[in-house]
Amino acid sequence: MKSALHHVLIHTLLPLKATFDACHALSDDEWHTIIVQGIKMEQPKHREHGDYAVNISFLARYTKLAPPVIATTLLPHLNIQGFTATAIGGFINFKATETSLLETLLPTLKGTQQAGQNTSKQNERLHLEFVSANPTGPLHLGHGRWAALGDSLRRIWQHNGAKVVTEFLVNDYGQQMTNMANSVWFRALEHLKLAPFPIPVEGEKFLYYPGAYVTDLALEYLEEDHNTQAITHIFEQEGAKRLEQLASKELLFELRNISRNAMLQLQQDLLKRFRTHFDIWQLESHLHLSGVVEKTLDRLKSKGVTFEEDGALWIKSTEVGDDKDRVLVKSDGSYTYLTADVAYHDDKFNRAEHFTSIVNIWGADHHGYVSRITAAMQALGHDPQRLVIILGQLVNLVVEGEKTRMGKRKTMLTLEDVIEEVGVDAARFWLVSRSADSTIEFDVDLATSASDENPVFYTQYAHARACGILRNAFNKIVDLETGEESPARFNKKDYEAFKKGITAEAWETLLLKPFEGNPQAYNKVRETILLLVSFTERVEDAGRVNAPHLIARYALDLSSDFHSLYAACRVLCDDPQEALARLLLVDVLRLTLAQALDLLGVTAPEQM
């Protein structure tokens, strides 16, 4: 409704340039720009002033009039259907008619449109890459935050009409995979009592993964007798060398592939369980093997944005905004990590979908990397405005009231362990409850509690409560003391027919007219209606600024509103028609809350 009012208001004001003598010198294009850029819809500080407000003072410099005079001058021209307008100081305030508000809710109520669904992004094609963890170990809670954030964004964008492609880049090329293969190799030697697993040396970088999952991989590999024989034979011939130092690299490549596939499968299974969808799983190794990296390097050279120095190949990234030039190919001929990443992003820009925006979710520790990749894309001739980087902060676990990065309990070290502890719903809700640039304090004990202080419990309980009210209306009434049954208050089929045939005018009469002598109850019901209507605005805003936490906040607001509505307005009142009208409001609230939770990947239980 807010967007519709904004649109109508702009087109109402565009023909009114001649109303102001001082604006005659402005061209129509100039006036158009002034109106379009100046009109901002706000919520009045005092609800009694209206539902929406526009500060008209931006016109003062052009009209040479005081804002209150401008507002009074414009007011007679603002006969916008469904709204009444008033001038208060330099503001024009709009109050929606109750009929127009309820008309907005009918598509959700009757199932012709999902709550909050809109077309604000219907012309956008978005590519989103997120999580992209190395296949060298289990996903941690930070990965879980990016998974919840990215998948919620996907859902929100699609609800706003966008076409979205999600992608996970599997970093399976480079030293970390060699280190992983060596870790499996030495665990196998350790198990066979041929050589010990390496231990860290102070002052030196430790090149191995000591986790128990590596031992599991080694033991699984040794289950095949021929693998045990091969490991033993290689050790007897060459000793406990690192795999890249062996005469043959066959075992290195085999263990790299085995460990990658195993870890990737674990990650995929967990992300699926976490309700996180990826359209594409892109192997970094494929970019190298298919020649994409070399082609990108050739394009950079042909554009004259590279140079050689000290035997290395550099990109002139300072010429397009970076703080210093960067190495692409080292003096030994190996690529830097940046090289593959530049090629990967170049590939995304060149895909047939021609994405309007290419979005990445990175951890805050990648802050310095933003300028490098942006500069490289500009050097390749791409529009850097199409590249959007969302940087996310850390997650701190709070266990037994004590804050810790990774948790004190042994069972709280991975995303899977956290899910086992609190469940998918609680994990996803908590991990999107704050903006991406804010650190999250994930209180494990609170997340598992059945209390109003637990946000996911609070919102899910509100949904279950709405479902319970509807059930009570259609189920037989049982006397708990005698066990006697009485007929149900309403027949479900009759209710569905009533819902299908209801008009906004009839709904207003049955829902609001009875409260005209009770201003407190009337205002409470109207506030609930207005909050339900505003859901579309929240979904649009969340998609526009990439902020799923706005939906989490809305779900909490709507839950709180429902609990207070329930106290102020008895739903199953004595008058059958009025009770049906109130049930319709509960029904819309149920559908809207369920949709809000679904946009966050959280379920909406009917009973708790």
Q: Is it the case that residue 411 has pLDDT exceeding 70?
A: no
In this structure, are residues 572 and 469 in contact, taking their beta carbons and an 8 Å threshold?
A: yes
Q: Is it the case that residue 413 has pLDDT exceeding 70?
A: no
Task: Give which of 433, 473, 430 is closest to 448, Cα–Cα.
Answer: 430
CA atoms within 13 A on the CB side of 195: 21
Query: For 583-608, how does the pLDDT look when each residue is reduced to its tens digit (9 = 90+)?
Result: 999 999 999 999 999 999 999 999 98
pLDDT of residue 380: 95
Task: Give which of 476, 468, 469, 478 is closest to 607, Cα–Cα.
Answer: 468
The letter for the amino acid at 174 is G
Question: DSSP for 255-303?
Answer: HHHHHHHHHHHHHHHHHHHTT---SEEEEHHHHHHTTHHHHHHHHHHHT
Q: What percent of the chain has pLDDT over 90?
A: 82
Q: Is it the case that residue 478 has pLDDT exceeding 90?
A: no
Residue 1 CA to residue 52 CA, distance in Å, equals: 10
Domains of the chain (ranges, CATH numbers) = 2-96 (3.30.1360.70), 291-354+365-386 (no CATH), 395-447 (no CATH), 455-599 (1.10.730.10)
Residue 405: which pLDDT band, with cuts at 50, 70 and 90?
low
Query: For 124-165, how does the pLDDT look when each residue is reduced to its tens digit (9 = 90+)?
Result: 999 999 999 999 999 999 999 999 999 999 999 999 999 999
The helix-helix angle for 492-501 and 576-599 (nearest 10°) equals 80
Residue 407: which pLDDT band, with cuts at 50, 70 and 90?
very low
Residue 568: which pLDDT band, with cuts at 50, 70 and 90?
confident
- Torsion angle of alpha carbons 91, 97, 100, 105, nearest 10°? 100
Q: At CB < 8 A and 24+ separation, what contacts does 203-212 make?
A: 207/179, 207/182, 208/179, 208/182, 208/183, 209/136, 209/137, 209/179, 209/180, 209/183, 210/183, 211/137, 211/138
Burial class from Cβ neighbours inside 10 Å (0-12, 13-18, 19+) for residue 45 reads exposed
Q: Determine the Cα angle at 147 with ends 144 and 153, to 5°.
A: 140
Q: Is it the case that residue 184 has pLDDT exceeding 50?
A: yes
Quick check: helix, strand or coil at residue 173?
Answer: coil
Specify whether the backbone of 381 is left (phi greater than 0), alpha (psi in -120 to 50) or beta.
left
pLDDT of residue 485: 79
- What are phi and psi for residue 6, nearest 5 degrees? -60, -45
Query: For 199-249, how does the pLDDT look when each residue is reduced to its tens digit (9 = 90+)?
Result: 999 999 999 999 999 999 999 999 999 999 999 999 999 999 999 999 999
In this structure, are residues 581 and 468 in contact, taking their beta carbons and an 8 Å threshold?
A: no
Greatest alpha-carbon pair distance for the chain in Å reads 97
Neighbours of 253 (CB within 10 A): 14
**Distances from the Cα of 35 to the Cαs of 1, 28, 54, 122, 185, in angstroms?**
19, 11, 12, 24, 69
Residues in Cβ contact with 598 at an 8 Å cutoff, skipping those fewer than 6 apart = 155, 604
Q: Is it the case that residue 433 has pLDDT exceeding 70?
A: yes
164, containing H or E segment: strand 163-170
Q: Token pair for residue 286?
A: 């494929």
Task: Give which of 429, 465, 473, 463 is closest to 447, Cα–Cα.
Answer: 429
pLDDT of residue 476: 84
- CA atoms 445, 449, 451, 456: torsion sign: positive
Q: Determine the Cα angle at 15 with ends 12 and 17, to 5°.
A: 120
Q: At CB < 8 A and 24+ separation, what contacts does 382-386 make?
A: 382/346, 382/349, 386/349, 386/355, 386/356, 386/357, 386/358
The size of the chain, in residues, is 608
Q: Is it the case that residue 279 has pLDDT exceeding 60?
A: yes
The helix-helix angle for 424-431 and 455-474 (nearest 10°) equals 120
Q: How far apart are the first and last CA of the chain?
A: 34
Q: Is it the case that residue 500 has pLDDT exceeding 50?
A: yes
* Mean pLDDT for all residues in the chain: 93
